[in-house]
């Protein structure tokens, strides 16, 4: 059994997950069973583990790393830039902590803002921030050293020795989220005798040191990219404040202007009667939420209707390859959903919508929106997409002409639902109506296909049974 366990120790492990005052890790044992290792004492940096076989449903959450690295109190750990996606080469760092702050393991030190998303910089161990090796707002690249941490098992700052600034001679340990290989875990890392008590605390200095209090060292506030941020108050003092645009907003602006310059954009409009959809949602939303643990919104019917229309008009799902002057037809439907995130507009992608029902779509949207609002979207969440839906109606927009999201060929704009008088069978009645706008690349999509596509969406929303009968 010991040999078998050591074999699995060399595979990927889970990051320690805090459960009360303990930490735990998991390693795969079989397809449905995992070995659960619980550390005996939370107060020490390195301890022995108790083993327990658990099922997949009892795995603590976390990301995959190796247990090859272990640390002692007062070790110096260098935190490096996390790995970037292939399409990203650099970013701007924004610190959320100050020099001298105590941070827990996995606590976010700051983030690196790239053209597409913000990458968190977590602390690999619990300890104190000794120094930032890169100033707030500076440009960084993959693998660059960012922060120097001093390992500590608790939040009590160690007393410095008189006349010294580095009480330890332990060489720095460079840590990067991708630098440790699972194969690096040796049997000795689990079987080695480990200390059972904290090292003695150095004596307090006899004379005060001439140092800057850590409480006075504050990180510079990161720019929100929005001119209506909390730091901008209209007071009538006739002063001005300049706020640097975030990388995401700069990149979004560039793409929007490129889209306007490249595409021959034309917008066609229609209106949809929301009576049946509102009635369906009112009837089933409580049971839907109770059974599937997700809310039923208007987005899933519109996304499903758009997928239905894209199957009928595949040219709207296609795109022009400008390098070869060819039309690229896709046999899959990935719909981008525009979301107003704290740092600007982001467009995460719901993939393979052609195979989804309302439940799958709502769960996918809820997950992406939650990531967008907490700035945890990854590059993979936003790459690709064959069609975009933007819902300005959530902000009360009644009418608008959306701009195509590169490198797609069309975008659907949803707007606010308002009661309006309409004619039905010779009578004027009040119905909840929504304007729809479809902006498309007229170089590729003719007016007939665009209008037919939009009418297909209108029909599927007004009568959801069309989707059931595939009409």
CA 83 – CA 451 distance, rounded (Å):
45
In angstroms, the Cα distances linking 203 to 159, 161, 169, 200, 207 are 7, 7, 17, 9, 12
CA atoms within 13 A on the CB side of 55: 1
CA 304 – CA 381 distance, rounded (Å):
19
Q: Which of 72, 73, 74, 119 is nearest to 94 (CA)?
A: 119
Residue 290 corresponds to which tokens in the numbers above? Answer: 């109770």
CA 91 – CA 134 distance, rounded (Å):
12
As a whole number of Å, the CA-based R_g of the chain is: 28
Overall residue count recorded for the chain in this entry: 471
CA 33 – CA 37 distance, rounded (Å):
13
Q: Is the Cβ–Cβ distance between 419 and 431 less than 8 Å?
A: yes
- Which residues are marked as active site? 442, 446
Neighbour-count burial of 229, counting CB atoms closer than 10 A to its CB (0-12 exposed, 13-18 middle, 19+ buried):
middle
349-350 and 387-391 beta bridge pairing: unpaired
CA 437 – CA 334 distance, rounded (Å):
19
Residue 253 corresponds to which tokens in the numbers above? Answer: 């602006």
């Amino acid at each position: 059994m010991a040999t078998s366990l050591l074999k699995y120790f060399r595979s990927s492990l889970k990051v320690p997950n805090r459960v009360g005052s303990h930490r735990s890790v998991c390693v795969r044992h079989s397809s449905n069973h995992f070995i659960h290792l619980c550390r005996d004492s939370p107060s020490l940096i390195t301890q022995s583990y108790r083993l327990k076989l658990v099922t997949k449903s009892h795995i603590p959450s976390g990301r995959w790393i190796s247990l090859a690295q272990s640390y002692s109190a007062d070790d110096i750990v260098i935190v490096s830039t996390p790995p970037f996606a292939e399409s990203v080469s650099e970013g701007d760092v924004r610190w959320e902590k100050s020099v001298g702050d105590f941070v827990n393991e996995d606590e976010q030190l700051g983030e690196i803002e790239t053209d597409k998303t913000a990458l968190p910089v977590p602390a690999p161990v619990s300890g104190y921030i000794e120094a930032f090796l890169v100033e707030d707002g500076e440009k960084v690249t993959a693998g660059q050293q960012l922060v120097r941490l001093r390992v500590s098992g608790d939040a009590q700052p160690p007393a410095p020795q008189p006349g010294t600034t580095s009480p330890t001679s332990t060489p720095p340990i460079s840590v990067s989220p991708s630098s440790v290989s699972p194969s690096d875990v040796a049997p000795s890392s689990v079987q080695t005798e480990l200390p059972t008590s904290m090292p003695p605390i150095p004596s307090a200095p006899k004379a005060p040191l001439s140092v800057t209090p850590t409480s006075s060292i504050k990180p510079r506030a990161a720019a929100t990219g929005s001119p209506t941020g909390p730091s901008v108050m209209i007071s009538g003092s006739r002063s001005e404040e300049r706020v640097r645009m975030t990388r995401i907003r700069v990149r979004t602006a560039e793409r929007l202007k490129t889209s306007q310059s490249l595409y021959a954009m034309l917008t066609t409009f229609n209106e949809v009667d929301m009576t049946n959809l509102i009635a369906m949602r009112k009837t089933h939303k409580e049971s839907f939420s109770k059974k599937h643990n997700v809310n039923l919104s208007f987005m899933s019917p519109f996304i499903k209707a758009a997928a239905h229309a894209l199957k009928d008009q595949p040219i709207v799902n296609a795109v022009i390859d400008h390098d070869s002057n060819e039309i690229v037809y896709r046999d899959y439907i990935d719909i981008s959903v525009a979301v107003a995130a704290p740092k600007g507009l982001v467009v995460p992608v719901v993939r393979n919508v052609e195979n989804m029902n309302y439940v799958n779509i709502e769960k996918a949207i809820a997950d992406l929106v939650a990531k967008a609002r907490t700035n945890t979207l990854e590059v993979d969440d936003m790459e690709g997409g064959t069609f975009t839906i933007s819902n300005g109606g959530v902000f009360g927009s009644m009418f608008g002409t959306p701009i195509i999201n590169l490198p797609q060929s069309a975008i659907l704009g949803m707007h606010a639902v308002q009661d309006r008088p309409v004619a039905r069978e010779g009578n004027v009645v009040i119905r909840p109506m929504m304007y729809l706008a479809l902006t498309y690349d007229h170089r590729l999509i003719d007016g007939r296909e665009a209008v037919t596509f939009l009418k297909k969406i209108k029909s599927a929303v007004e009568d959801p049974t069309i989707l059931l009968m595939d009409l």
